[in-house]
Amino acid sequence: MSRKQSDFSKLVSLLTELHKSYPHYGVGRHLSTALSDYGDIWGMTDKELAFALEKYKLQLEMDVPHSGDSEIDEIIRQGLDLDSILKEEDDGEEY
């Protein structure tokens, strides 16, 4: 007869799966995102927390692939260098 996995073991297992699937995300990022819709998490049971993480994991799996931090850094760099981009566009315009 198989033993049912405890809620705590399920939590650890879910966090391990999330780490393997999304190694560029930290545990804090997973937890804060998974629990963002919950108000006071102080009194959450292990079962409720496991449910929230399972729901979050399923949403991640259904979501489009997330870009890495390097792509976000490139967008920020381009935003900081917006003056040169606008200048290049102005130089190319004919009146």
What is each CA distance from 27 to 32, 74, 75, in whole angstroms? Answer: 9, 24, 25
- Write down the pLDDT at residue 63: 76
- Write down the pLDDT at residue 92: 62
Q: How many helices (H) and strands (E) does the chain have?
A: 5, 0
Average pLDDT by stretches of 10, the chain with 95 residues: 81 95 92 90 93 94 69 80 75 59
- Write down the pLDDT at residue 5: 83
